Amino acid sequence: MNDCLFCKIVAKEIPCNEVLENDDFLAFRDIDPQAPVHVLVIPKKHFEDITELTQGDSSLTSGFMEFVSQTAKLEKLDKGFRIVLNTGPDGGQSVQHVHAHVLGGRGLTWPPG
Ligand code: DGP
């Protein structure tokens, strides 16, 4: 996708602070961290949101969650963490390339705003 910010990060046209990468997924630090650990996990292939990702190859969906878990393990979030998938305007999604926020390193409050 030509105009997608996260596709440009995948293509290395825009730099990121990378945490983990494999053939299908990339994890990198959020530019505006909301917790001591705040990592974004994305599939390299463009899907607008989680609903579009889950309509595709199911192995990519399960691989996505496995990669999220690997990222949390790498970040040593042994005491727990939160996975957030903001979706659509009501969900507060600002970048239209599916991404999981992995947040941790402090106690997180509930409910979210
Ligand atoms: P969301 O609001 O759920 O769509 O989250 C988008 C996140 O993307 C937000 O937390 C800030 C982050 N972000 C936006 N632009 C950049 C960027 O250029 N680099 C990085 N690393 N993160 C970005």
Instruction: Please report, as a single letter, which amino acid is at residue 110.
Output: W
pLDDT at 86: 98
User: Could you give the CA distance from residue 108 to residue 105 in angstroms, rounded to a whole number?
Assistant: 9
Residue 94 exposed, middle or buried by CB count within 10 Å (0-12, 13-18, 19+): exposed
pLDDT at 2: 77
Residues whose beta carbon lies within 6 Å of some atom of ligand 1:
5, 14, 16, 28-32, 40, 86, 92-95
Terminal alpha carbon distance of the chain: 31
Instruction: Looking at the structure, give the CATH architecture of the domain made up of residues 5-37+45-93.
Output: 2-Layer Sandwich (3.30)
Q: pTM of this prediction?
A: 0.98
Domain ranges of the chain: 5-37+45-93
- Whether 11 shows a pLDDT value over 90: the answer reads yes
Which residue of 14, 32, 47, 99 sits with most ligand 1 atoms within 8 Å of its CB, as the best mutation to test the pocket? Answer: 32
